[in-house]
Amino acid sequence: MLDVRGLTTELALEEGPVRAVDDVSFALPPGGTLGVVGESGCGKSLTALSLLRLAPEPPVRVVGGEVRFQGRDLLTLPEAELRRVRGRHAAMIFQEPMTSLNPVFTVGEQIAEGVRLHLGASRAQARDKAVEMLRQVGIPAPAERVDAYPHQLSGGMRQRVMMAMALACDPALLIADEPTTALDVTIQAQILDLLARLQAERGMAVLLITHDLGVVAESCDAVVVMYAGRVVERAPVRALFSQPAHPYTAGLLRSIPSRRDVGGARASRARLRAIPGRVPPLRQLPVGCAFRERCERALDVCAHVKPALTSPREGQWAACHNPVPAP
């Protein structure tokens, strides 16, 4: 249903343009869930915004690739036609509901706007739909909350309102950009459970952007790992967690605390294994592999040749000259 090929996005900086999303490719089948993970600044959110051409131009410019959604390339659609796709067939949940919701309109008005625009509903029908969507996402007393303003709701409720807005027109694709950011653990679990239930009921595909590998393990069928704007690994979720191929992925997995790391006799002396160094700025990416200066498996070729995505194991792809061998 969603086939992304060679997506490339540039940022215009004073020093000149830099590639913030570099030749990103992946596919998402109907009803599937694909996780996109990586450290902050790796290009996850900009990739999502580029798919629906939501990033501000300038300073952002999509310079290459295809985003084929239900058979049409979104990058070549006229703006008027693309507006009919956004919200109706493909919707997005943004990571900061307090800044994404308009503070001067009630949450009901904001949900109803898309229903009226895309489905041609009357004001009364759109309001009824808004109440129903608030009920579906688990907000208590939806007939009253529909007239509330964003500042009158908690962070968890605002995130549920964002979900109600995104799902009101029954889209085939939902892009969820860090949907649990800044929420406590209990509310995070509720939001993820709600998302999984609504996905199962509606049969929609979900592109889940997160830095939390625990969320990916629980929610996704396949995973794309990004580093410095590029895809460094792509694999089914079980294969990635059991036998990561890229050293960066292996490092991310080693940094996840296990039960024995957080409890028991070992807890007092256990230390997580951090990846040394830091992500290089996009305007100062090293020649060759962008991860080589932090990589324990780097070879001489890594300093000169940018690795292409190859398949070290069936169904698993990694951009690495010296991938991690299977255990």
**Secondary structure string (H, E, C) spanning the chain:** CEEEEEEEEEEEECCEEEEEEEEEEEEECCCCEEEEECCCCCCHHHHHHHHCCCCCCCCEEEEEEEEEECCEECCCCCHHHHHHHECCCEEEECCCHHHHCCCCCCHHHHHHHHHHHHHCCCHHHHHHHHHHHHHHCCCCCHHHHCCCCHHHCCHHHHHHHHHHHHHCCCCCEEEEECCCCCCCHHHHHHHHHHHHHHHHHHCCEEEEECCCHHHHHHHCCEEEEEECCEEEEEEEHHHHHHCCCCHHHHHHHHCCCCHHHHCCHHHHCCCCCCCCCCCCCHHHCCCCCCCHHHCCCCCHHHHCCCCCCEEEECCEEECCCCCCCCC
Residue 266 has pLDDT above 70, yes or no: no
Q: What is the pLDDT of residues 161-184, one digit of tens each?
A: 998 999 999 999 999 998 877 677
Q: What is the pLDDT of residue 279?
A: 85
Read off the pLDDT of each residue in 171-199 and give the average, rounded to a whole number: 86
User: What is the tally of structural domains in the chain?
Assistant: 1
Q: What is the pLDDT of residue 13?
A: 85
Q: What is the pLDDT of residues 142-159, one digit of tens each?
A: 999 999 999 999 888 998
Confidence of residue 267 (pLDDT cuts 50, 70, 90): very low
Q: What is the pLDDT of residue 100?
A: 84
**99 located within any domain:** no
* Residue-number span of the structural domain to which 53 is assigned: 2-89+171-227
| Residue scoring higher pLDDT (56 or 320) | 320
| Residue scoring higher pLDDT (37 or 274) | 37
**46 located within any domain:** yes
CATH number of the domain enclosing 198: 3.40.50.300
**132 located within any domain:** no
Q: What is the pLDDT of residue 41?
A: 83
Residue 319 has pLDDT above 50, yes or no: yes
**144 located within any domain:** no
Q: What is the pLDDT of residue 262?
A: 46
Q: What is the pLDDT of residue 173?
A: 95
Read off the pLDDT of each residue in 189-207 and give the average, rounded to a whole number: 90
Residue 88 has pLDDT above 70, yes or no: yes
**297 located within any domain:** no
**38 located within any domain:** yes
**47 located within any domain:** yes
Q: What is the pLDDT of residue 39?
A: 86
Confidence of residue 265 (pLDDT cuts 50, 70, 90): very low
Read off the pLDDT of each residue in 302-313 and give the average, rounded to a whole number: 93
Q: What is the pLDDT of residue 259?
A: 52
**266 located within any domain:** no
What share of the chain has pLDDT > 90, as a percent? Answer: 65
Q: What is the mean pLDDT of the chain?
A: 89
